[in-house]
């Protein structure tokens, strides 16, 4: 599709924005749309009309064209070019380049110097035909092209932004996992906790961009240089260190590293009693602020020095609890509850410990535990949510959990949104994810997309991205598939396969969906009701009623055994996919009466779209209280 004059101006405007953000591998479609004053959907429609491309495809291909220019000069290798044009991975750059040009980046030089073929030339002075080659002419032209390219690239680099890590006014940092040098390796929870505390303090400062825990986890055992890590994460500085915890003493070495020169900007060693850990964390955070020349508001100054508890033993128990919970297992949730109960006994004013205790109880109803029903878990957690907010009215995690309670326990949509908006002011990753879910529940899918992308921009390695499902709800299947396939290369976990299977199911690629659902089951060793529900729907849609009904019978048996995990809801999913509407509505009524955790997904679950005009379904939605 050829653009007209107006279209050309539009494309040049887009290219300039991509150029201005060329080295930023986190530059998103949302940012591009915002920078040119359009909504994401407007941008997509206009670009598709002009070129037939999606926005992400346009950005990727324009970057590849810039990469070709750099490769033709020949001063940089493929990995260095990948960094210059915003590809976070050299492997991914090689793959995209090969797909776009038909050969890998390493072949560019060979393509430029292929032997020219013999041609017939006419000597204008002699007026006769001579046999010769275009070698001399080719060399002259090639030299001219190179000269122009050098001038162009030189102009490009002096007029466009330099790499993020090289920008002198850039205030960004990644805090790498500290090495645990303790003899007892079970104390790794402590080193992780100290890092998280420093990161949380710095993340509260508006003038500093702090990379998330999930984003830096990949570098725990890395052999990459500081420069490579800084370029991949797009930061100007790295904080690295080591911790040794021995009974009541803590030894800590920390270093602030320049991401470009790899020079040591600041370093310090600490050898103190455990009770001094709060002062150490505050001093480290303050030193980073000073070295990055960050500006602090009076409120930020007070927050930087704030500690959640003064009791070092309670703090140690809290860190252990987080470590246990993040095993995402039933045992881990119970261990977390036990440890937090001990921490609160030592400090009854420990607001964050109360919030995490509530979270741990709610975890007992999660898919990886399914010990309690949603109502049981939420009711156990509610007093601790209230206590956390009474002690610290501004605690983001407590507001997030209150929103979760209001939505899933009370089905109070308006009240939940108020609390979610309070929780996301700090860009808490779980709060952003849950608010994106909420917006999808109430069919505000474009808004959900904005928050899903905000989550992905700030926490690109968040293990349960909301982008895939939200793309589906916005009918952007090609972009969903592209993103999902890239996630599969990074994550081999339940969440990614679950979302990828859901995407394939709704793209009507049923056999592939079943394949990924089975992969997830093999990976986890658990047949989650949600996974079985969607797998049964894929069988039903593909015409395999026998296997669809087998899964229904499996879920009915589990319900009879009092299994948790929204079993009735997913039985309804399969019946609806089988077009057995009466049975689907009957099981949805059962799910409503048992207050299944998944009920807020009622209006958004694609397998129920065929039920939306049924009077019983509409009555059910009204009873739940959907806006």
CATH number at 200 reads 3.40.50.10610
Work out whether strand 118-123 and strand 128-133 pair parallel, antiparallel, or are unpaired: antiparallel
Helix, coil or strand: residue 175: strand
492-531: buried (b, 16+ CB within 10 Å) or exposed (e) per residue? ebbbbbbbbbbbbbbeebbeebbbbbebbbeebeebbbbb
Distance CA 548, CA 530 (A): 14
Q: Which of 159, 179, 214 is the last residue of a domain?
A: 159
- Mark whether 142 and 201 lie in a shared domain: no
Residue 88's domain comprises: 5-112
The string of pLDDT tens digits covering residues 395-436 is 999 999 999 999 999 999 999 999 999 999 888 888 999 999
200 and 272 part of one domain: yes
Contact between 406 and 435 under an 8 Å Cβ cutoff? The reply is no
In a domain, residue 596? The reply is no
Please state, in angstroms and rounded to a whole number, the distance separating the CA atoms of residues 237 and 173. 5
- The candidate with the shortest Cα–Cα distance to 397, out of 421, 364, 431, 365, is 431
- Are residue 102 and residue 213 in the same domain, yes or no? no
Task: Let me know whether 50 and 85 are in one domain.
Answer: yes
| Longest CA pairwise span in the chain (Å) | 104
- Domain membership flag for residue 361: no
Q: Distance between CA 84 and CA 526 in Å, rounded?
A: 43
Q: Do 106 and 179 have their domain in common? A: no
d(CA 365, CA 369): 6
Report the DSSP beta bridge partners of residue 272.
250
Specify the pLDDT at position 157.
37
Q: How far is CA 548 from CA 376, 534, 578, 585, 602, in A?
A: 31, 10, 8, 17, 21
Let me know whether 262 and 172 are in one domain: yes
Distance CA 448, CA 438 (A): 8
Is 67 in the same domain as 170?
no
- Same structural domain, 26 and 41: yes
> What is the value of pTM for the model shown?
0.66
How are beta strands 172-175 and 118-123 bridged, if at all? unpaired
Are residue 171 and residue 131 in the same domain, yes or no?
A: no
- Residue 467 is predicted with a pLDDT of 94
Q: Which residue, 257, 278, 307, sits at the end of a domain?
A: 307
Q: Cβ distance 69 to 153 under 8 Å? A: yes
Q: Residue 459: its pLDDT value, please?
A: 78
Question: What's the domain count of the chain?
Answer: 3
Pair (130, 41) in one structural domain: no
Residue 220 C-alpha from the chain's centroid: 18
Question: Which positions of the chain have pLDDT values less than 50?
Answer: 115-135, 138-139, 141-168
Q: Are residues 85 and 204 in the same domain?
A: no
Residues 99 and 26 reside in one and the same domain: yes
Q: Which residue, 163, 198, 190, 228, is CA-closest to 289?
A: 198
Domain boundary among 253, 284, 307: 307
Residue tagged 């609160």 (tokens): 344
pLDDT in tens, 207-261: 888 887 777 878 888 888 988 998 888 888 999 999 988 878 888 899 999 988 8
Whether residue 102 lies inside any domain: the answer is yes
Per the domain annotation, does 339 fall within a domain? no
């Amino acid at each position: 599709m050829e653009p007209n004059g107006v279209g050309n101006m539009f494309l040049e405007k887009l290219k300039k924005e991509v150029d201005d953000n060329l080295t930023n591998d986190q530059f998103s479609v949302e940012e591009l749309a915002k920078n040119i004053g359009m909504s994401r959907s407007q941008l997509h429609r206009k670009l598709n009309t002009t070129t037939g491309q999606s926005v992400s495809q346009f950005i990727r291909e324009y970057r590849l064209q810039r990469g070709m220019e750099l490769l033709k000069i020949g001063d940089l290798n493929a990995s260095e070019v990948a960094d210059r044009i915003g590809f976070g991975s050299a492997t991914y750059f090689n793959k995209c380049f090969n797909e776009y040009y038909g050969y890998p980046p390493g072949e560019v030089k060979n393509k430029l110097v292929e032997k020219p073929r013999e041609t017939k030339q006419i000597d204008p002075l002699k007026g006769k035909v001579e046999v010769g080659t275009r070698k001399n002419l080719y060399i002259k032209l090639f030299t001219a092209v190179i000269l122009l390219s050098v001038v162009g690239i030189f102009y490009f680099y002096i007029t466009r932004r330099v790499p993020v890590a090289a920008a002198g006014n850039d205030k960004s940092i990644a805090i790498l996992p500290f090495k645990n040098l303790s003899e007892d390796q079970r104390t790794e929870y402590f080193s992780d906790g100290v890092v998280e505390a420093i990161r949380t303090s710095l993340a509260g400062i508006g003038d500093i961009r702090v990379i998330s825990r999930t984003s830096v986890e990949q570098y725990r055992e890395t052999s990459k240089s500081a420069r490579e890590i800084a370029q991949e994460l797009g930061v100007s500085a790295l904080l690295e260190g080591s911790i040794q915890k021995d009974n009541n003493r803590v030894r800590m070495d920390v270093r602030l590293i320049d991401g470009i020169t790899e020079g040591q900007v600041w370093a310090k060693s600490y050898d103190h009693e455990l009770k001094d850990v709060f002062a150490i964390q505050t001093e480290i955070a303050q030193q980073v602020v000073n070295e990055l020349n960050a500006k602090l508001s009076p409120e930020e100054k007070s927050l930087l020095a704030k500690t959640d508890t003064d009791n070092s033993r309670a703090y140690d128990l809290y860190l252990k609890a987080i470590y246990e919970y993040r095993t995402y297992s039933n045992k881990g949730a119970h261990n977390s509850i036990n440890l937090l109960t001990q921490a609160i006994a030592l400090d009854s004013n420990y607001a964050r410990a109360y919030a995490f205790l509530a979270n741990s109880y709610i975890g007992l109803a999660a898919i990886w535990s399914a010990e309690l029903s949603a109502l049981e878990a939420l009711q156990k957690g509610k007093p601790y949510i209230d206590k956390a907010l009474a002690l610290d009215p501004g605690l983001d995690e407590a507001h997030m959990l209150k929103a979760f309670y209001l939505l899933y326990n009370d089905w109070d949509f308006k009240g939940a949104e108020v609390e979610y908006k309070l929780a996301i002011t700090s860009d808490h990753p779980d709060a952003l994810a849950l608010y994106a879910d909420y917006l999808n529940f109430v069919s505000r899918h474009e808004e959900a997309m904005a928050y899903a992308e905000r989550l992905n921009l700030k926490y690109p390695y968040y293990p349960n991205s909301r982008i895939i499902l939200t793309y589906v709800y916005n009918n952007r299947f090609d972009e969903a598939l592209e993103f999902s396939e890239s996630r599969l290369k990074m994550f081999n976990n339940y969440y990614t396969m679950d979302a990828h299977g859901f995407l394939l199911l709704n793209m009507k690629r049923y056999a592939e969906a079943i394949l990924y659902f089975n992969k997830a089951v093999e990976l986890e060793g658990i047949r989650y009701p949600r996974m079985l529900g969607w797998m049964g729907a894929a069988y039903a849609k593909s015409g395999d009623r026998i296997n669809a009904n087998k899964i229904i019978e499996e879920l009915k048996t589990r319900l009879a055994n009092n299994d948790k995990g929204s079993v009735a809801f997913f039985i309804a999913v399969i019946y609806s996919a089988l077009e057995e509407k009466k049975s689907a509505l009957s099981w949805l009524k059962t799910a409503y009466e048992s207050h299944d955790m998944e009920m807020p997904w009622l209006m958004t679950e694609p397998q129920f779209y065929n039920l939306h005009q049924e009077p019983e379904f509409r009555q059910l939605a009204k009873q739940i209280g959907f806006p």
